Amino acid sequence: MLIPLLLAGILMGLPAQANPSQPMARYFGMRHGESVPSSQQRICSAMAAGIDPRNGLTERGRHEAQESSDAWIAAHGDTIRRAWQQGELWIVSSPFSRSRETAEILVARLQHWQRQQAPTLEIRLEADLRERDFGRLEGQSPSGPLYRRVWDQDAIDPEGTPWGVESAAAVQRRSAALIARLEREAAANPDRVTVLVSHGDTLKILQTSAQGQSAAAHQDASQVKPFHTGEIRALIWARPPAATTGP
């Protein structure tokens, strides 16, 4: 579950005493619960629409987030408690309303579990966890066939931007850059636990960089396991994604 720091580019800025062969922090990915747009089979990927409260969770999505939060707490309680008591439990979310609401449910379930016996938890919003921008496909439906057209193109060229869609490689770079920043911050305490609350494509593409693969592999279920709505699970790195200055 832990991330070995192997690439010098990510280690820039770490304290001199940090051992690059040792893992620095634990990461879990959490996909938002079912959202209003997904229940309508409508693409909602632009920032303005994404942060609109009307595009938040459905009742089913809220239930999914609560159930998975409780299951995660039950499975990892000792690890969560230790990190939290040290102020090293981080909830990092996409700013989109469906992800932010999912993160809020996770925090509420954590606070109910500890019953005020731990420091207050805050949600950190990070734009690099946002939904992939689907360009001119924004607002269109049914979303399923449109997503598949994009994914088929990703397999051919992960740098491609058909229909003005953000490339899979660009999503990989921005998510990798976020992990690099978080790793530098985590250097002070290896017990840090970070939950990344994000979106289906973003989490799949993040996994390709964690596994040292091309972003083109993100839709290959034999290589990348997709997150179900509301699901939380450990993110495992074969190597950390390289820090970049690209978009």
**Which residue did the predictor score with more confidence, 244 or 219?**
219
DSSP state of 245: S
Q: What is the pLDDT of residues 34-44, one digit of tens each?
A: 999 999 999 99
In this structure, are residues 32 and 102 in contact, taking their beta carbons and an 8 Å threshold? yes
pLDDT above 90 as % of the chain:
75
Instruction: Classify burial at 123, counting beta carbons within 10 Å of its beta carbon; exposed 0-12, middle 13-18, buried 19 or more.
Output: middle
HSE at residue 70, side-chain half, CA atoms within 13 A, is 6
200-237: burial string, b at 16+ Cβ within 10 Å, e else: bbbbbbbbbbbeebbbbbbbeeeebeebebbbbbebeb
**Of 122, 118, 116, which is closest to residue 80 (Cα–Cα)?**
118
Which pTM value belongs to this model? 0.87
Q: What is the pLDDT of residues 86-133, one digit of tens each?
A: 999 999 999 999 999 999 999 999 999 998 788 889 999 999 999 999
Sign of the dihedral through C-alpha 205, 206, 209, 211 = negative
The pLDDT value given to residue 66? 98
In this structure, are residues 230 and 62 in contact, taking their beta carbons and an 8 Å threshold? no
Instruction: Classify burial at 74, counting beta carbons within 10 Å of its beta carbon; exposed 0-12, middle 13-18, buried 19 or more.
Output: exposed
Cα–Cα distance list, 143 to 73, 88, 91, 100, 137 (Å): 33, 38, 29, 22, 9
Q: Is beta strand 23-31 parallel, antiparallel or unpaired with respect to 2-4?
A: antiparallel
Cα–Cα distance list, 199 to 41, 83, 114, 161 (Å): 15, 25, 27, 19
In this structure, are residues 183 and 24 in contact, taking their beta carbons and an 8 Å threshold? yes
In this structure, are residues 33 and 9 in contact, taking their beta carbons and an 8 Å threshold? no
Cβ-based neighbours of 46, under 8 Å, separated by 6 or more:
133, 138
Q: What is the pLDDT of residues 164-189, one digit of tens each?
A: 999 999 999 999 999 999 988 877 67
**Which residue did the predictor score with more confidence, 19 or 221?**
221
Mean of all residue pLDDT scores within the chain: 87
pLDDT exceeds cutoff 50 at 6: no
Q: What is the pLDDT of residues 77-99, one digit of tens each?
A: 999 999 999 999 999 999 999 99
